[in-house]
Amino acid sequence: MYQFNVYRIGPEIKLGSVDISFTNASLFMVISSLAILIIFNLGAKKKTLIPDKLQLLSELSYTFVAKMISDTAGSNAKPYFSFIFSLFMFVLFCNMFGMIPYAFTVTSHIIVTFVLAAFIFIGVTIIGFMKHGLGYLKLFVPSGVPMVLLPLIVVIEIISYLSRPISLSVRLFANMMAGHTMMKVFGGFVISLGIVGGWLPLSFSVALTGLEILVAFLQAYVFAILTCIYLNDALNLHH
């Protein structure tokens, strides 16, 4: 579990009595953000009719996210495009940088994913109330439900709504942590079984690396698309 340890890099920074030192987690957040900015800036700089590789990459990502949003949340969600784009890219790059050996996976920490999820939850709730006023509460009362079941359904809906940030954050965090832990365990097997029996866990480890890269992308995608779905609930209230 050493790979999940957070340690201070450089001097201790204190804001009042709170410790906000620069850590390895902060380092990888900065690296991910910088990587995104550099890649997309390079991709957006040239404006040629026939794009080169980086331009194609950035444009493909743009259209990919745009299509994802318009498919799940409709055209109303266009103003939130840039937020979801940066969210998707941030989570994706953090996941992917975590796949580099000796790197730190930012998204394998519950606190990071929970802050993101809580921000989304609060933001979506505010958008919903701003858009529909108290009518947003109709979200908890699905239409076409018998009156007898209604109290139960409403309670369930409220619980499921309130557990959204938790499920969203725990999904990402648990996936990343489990994957990295599994790779660590198999790596440990390779060492302890040595040259004789270490080949089997080594091959597992190689296969798991591919799987983890897939999971890294998939979880970023799931995170973004769930955000879109929550946004859809808030924007187009039709239960």
Partner 1 sequence: MFKKIIILVFFTCFACFNTVFAAESGGMPQLNPEFWISQIFWLIITFGVLFIVLTKVILPKISDNLETRKSQILENIETADKQKEESQKKIDEYEKIILDSKIKAKNYFNEAREKILEDINKKRNALEKDLDEEISSVENELSEFRNKSGEKINKIAAETSAELIKELIGEEVNSSSIAAIVEDQAKLNKERKDVV
Q: Which parts of this chain interact with partner 1 (CB under 8 A)?
A: 1-2, 4-6, 8, 15, 18-23, 25-26, 29-30, 32-33, 36-37, 40-41, 43-45, 47, 49, 55, 58-59, 62-63, 81-83, 85-86, 89-90, 106, 108-112, 115-116, 173, 177, 184-185, 188-189, 192-193, 197
Give the nearer residue to partner 1 in terms of CB position, either 78 or 239.
78
Tell me if 112 sits within 8 A of 106, measured CB to CB: yes
Q: How far is residue 67 CA from its own chain's centroid?
A: 18
The least distance separating partner 1 from the CB of residue 125, rounded to whole angstroms, comes to: 19
Give the nearer residue to partner 1 in terms of CB position, either 66 or 222.
66
The least distance separating partner 1 from the CB of residue 177, rounded to whole angstroms, comes to: 7
Tell me if 127 sits within 8 A of 234, measured CB to CB: yes
The least distance separating partner 1 from the CB of residue 31, rounded to whole angstroms, comes to: 9
Give the nearer residue to partner 1 in terms of CB position, either 62 or 217.
62
Tell me if 233 sits within 8 A of 128, measured CB to CB: yes
Give the nearer residue to partner 1 in terms of CB position, either 60 or 149.
60
Return the structure tokens found at 110. Answer: 């519950």
Q: How far apart are CA 219 and CA 92, in angstroms?
A: 8
Q: Looking up tokens 């730190």, which residue turns up?
A: 104
Residue whose C-alpha is closest to residue 143's, from 133, 153, 152: 153
Give the nearer residue to partner 1 in terms of CB position, either 112 or 235.
112
Give the nearer residue to partner 1 in terms of CB position, either 85 or 223.
85
The least distance separating partner 1 from the CB of residue 141, rounded to whole angstroms, comes to: 34
3-state secondary structure of 148: coil
Q: How far apart are CA 100 and CA 231, in angstroms?
A: 33
The least distance separating partner 1 from the CB of residue 60, rounded to whole angstroms, comes to: 10
The least distance separating partner 1 from the CB of residue 70, rounded to whole angstroms, comes to: 13
Cα 99 to Cα 103, 110, 137, 192, distances in angstroms: 7, 18, 42, 23
